[in-house]
Amino acid sequence: MANWTEAASRAAALAAGWAGTAGPGGAIVLFDREGIREAFAGGLASIEHALPFTPATPNRYASISKHVLAVALLRAGLPLDRPLGHWLAELPPPLAAVELGRALDMTGGLPDMMEALWQQGVPFTATLGAGEIFALACRFPGLSAGTGTEMAYSNTGWRLAQRVLEQVSGRPYADIVAELGAATGTGIRLPYDGAEIVPGLATGYWREGESWRRGHYGMHFSASGGIAGSADDLANWASALLAGRGPLAGMLGRLTAPRHFADGAESVYRLGLVCNRLGAVDLAGHGGSLPGYRNHMLMAPDLGVGVVVLTNREEEALWHAMTVMAALVGEELPEPAKLSPGLFASEEGPFWAEVAADSIGFMGGYERLFADGKAGLRSFPAYLEIRLRREGEDGLAGRIGGVRQKLRRVPKDTRLDPRLVGRWRDPHFGTEIDIRPDSTALMPWPAGGRIAPLTPLPNGRALAQLQHGPWLYRPCLWLEGETLRLGGHRARILRMERA
C-alpha cells in the first residue's frame, strides 16, 4: 500500500528548501491511476519578476518528452523493425540502415546531434532550425558504434523519428502533441524553438558562482525534448498512462517491453522510458535536462503510483524523485557507493571515467553509484546502466551501457604522448585541432577557437576541457593508427589527418 503521508512529507521538505533560497524552484506532484493525490512547490518561476513556481507553472520537460513520440509512433502503427531509410531516403547508408526501434532505444549508434555540433565548434546556443539539423544528419559519415552493441544516449534518432511520423501522417508533430494533450485532459504542447511564446513558462536558471544565470538553448526543439507543460499536466498524463485511459490504452506495456542488445542482453532503456528496480518494486521513468531545467518522472506500474519532479534550476532531479518514491512505496534508498576518487581509462580507445566518492562520470555522462548487495556497484540509471566490480584500488570492471569495460586508474605522472602534437584536420567536415607540446589544444569552440587544457591519458590519448554555460564538455582525443579520433559518449565520428 502506498504511504502517501510519508511521501508527502519528503516532497514538502524538498519544496520548502527551494522556497528558502529566494531563487528558482520547482514542483513535486504525487499521483496514482485516478489522478493527482498531492502537490508541492517552492521557489520562483521567474527571479526577475518574483513569480512563484507552482504545480500549474509550465516548464520545459526536456527528454521526458521522448515517450510521447513513442506513443504517437505506436498509435500510427509504424513498424519498429523497419530501417530509417525506408522513409528518409536522403540519409547516408549507415544511418539509413538503422532500424526505427534501435533509433528509439539508443542502441542504433546514431551520433547525437548536439555533441556532433559541439565537436565542430557550434555551441548549443546557436539558432538552428529543423532543416539545418537534418541536413547535418545527412552528412554524417558513419555511426558512433556498431548497431546494437552499445546503449549511448542520442537525441538524433528521436529527431529522425519525428520526421518519419510527420512524413507518414502528413501532419506537424506539434498538432499531434496538442491532440494527445486534449485527449488526456492536459495542456502539453510542443513549441518549436526558444523564441516561441509559452504563456507562463518558467525561466530556466543555472548557477555561476554566487549568481543565477538564465539558461539558453538555440537549437530547434523537437520530439527528443521539446514538450512544455506543468507538473500537474505531466502527472495527469502519467496517471492516464498508468491507467491506460483514452489514447494511452495499453501503451505503458508497449513502451516498457524489453529491448535487447545484439548479443541478446536486455537493456534498461526502452522506448523513451528507463526500467529499473527499487528494492522489490519495478519502476519506469525518464529524466530531462536543458540549460536551466532539470526534471524527472518515476512510476511504479504494478502499484499504480508515481511522482513528477520539475525544476527550473540546475540540480539533480532523479535523487529528489527517488527520495519521494522510496517513501511512497515503502522501500529503502540504496546504499551509496564508497569509492576512491580518481581518473580511470580503458587500455585503449575513447573510454574513460571520472570517479567521485559515490558517483561516476563516464565519458561525460553522470550517474550515482550504489552498492548492489553482491560486493559490486550499480547505477540507478537516469539514462545509463552501469554494473561494476572493484579490481583492487586501481581497477573497475563490468558493463557500462551494455559494453564490457575494464578501467584502470590513470597515473598522475602521465605525460602527453608526443605523437598527438601537431595540426589535425577532418577531411569530411573541415574541422581542425592544433595540439601543442604544453598539453593544450586550439579547439574549434566556438567559431574562432579556444585554447583548451589537455589531461593526458596513457597510450596516445588525452581529454580536452571546454566549458560552455552550465556544461563542461570533455571530449577524448585518441590515436587510431595514423588517424586522430575525437569523440565523447554520444558522438565519435571525427577522423582527423595531419594537416
Mean pLDDT, to the nearest integer, of 288-316?
A: 96
Question: Coil, helix or strand for 120?
Answer: coil
Distance of CA 39 to CAs 94, 230, 290, 311, Å? Answer: 47, 12, 23, 14
* Selection from 328, 340, 329 nearest residue 369 by Cα: 340
Q: What is the mean pLDDT of residues 310-338?
A: 95
Q: What is the mean pLDDT of residues 39-52?
A: 97
pLDDT computed for residue 292 by the predictor: 95
Measured over all CA atoms, what is the biggest interatomic distance in the chain, rounded to whole angstroms?
66
Which alpha helices (H) appear in 263-399, and where do they start and end? Answer: 317-329
pLDDT at 176 over 70: yes
Say yes or no to pLDDT of 22 above 90.
no
| Bridge partners for 345 per DSSP | 352, 408
Q: What is the pLDDT of residue 373?
A: 86
pLDDT for 125: 86
**Domain 418-498 is in which class?**
mainly beta
Percentage, residues of the chain above pLDDT 70? 100
pLDDT at residue 255 is higher than 70: yes
**Are 256 and 284 contacting, i.e. CB atoms less than 8 angstroms apart?**
yes
pLDDT band at 396 (very low <50, low <70, confident <90, very high): very high
Domain ranges of the chain: 4-68+170-329, 342-409, 418-498
> Out of 1.10.357.10, 1.10.10.10, 1.25.50.10, 3.40.710.10, which CATH number does the structure's domain 4-68+170-329 have?
3.40.710.10
Q: Answer yes or no: is pLDDT of 382 > 90.
A: no
Distance from C-alpha of 245 to C-alpha of 250, rounded to nearest angstrom: 9
Closest C-alpha among 431, 472, 477, 432 to residue 454 = 477
Averaged pLDDT of the chain: 96
Rounded (5°) CA angle 104-155-217:
150
pLDDT at residue 128 is higher than 70 = yes
d(Cα 217, Cα 292) in Å, to the nearest integer? 9
SS3 state of residue 176: helix
Q: What percentage of residues in the chain have a pLDDT greater than 90?
A: 90
Mean pLDDT of all residues in 345-357: 96
Task: Give the helix, strand, coil percentages of the chain, each rounded to 5.
Answer: 25, 30, 45
Whole-angstrom Cα Rg for the chain: 22
- The mean pLDDT value for 205-215 works out to 93
Q: Which pLDDT does position 77 carry in this prediction?
A: 98
pLDDT at 308: 98
For cell 589535425, name the residue: 424
69 C-beta neighbours (distance < 10 Å), count: 26
pLDDT, one tens digit per residue, over 443-494 is 987 767 899 999 999 999 999 999 888 888 999 999 999 999 999 999 999 9
Average pLDDT over residues 160-169: 98
**Spatial separation of the C-alpha atoms in residues 229 and 181, rounded to whole Å:** 10
Identify the pLDDT of residue 447. 64
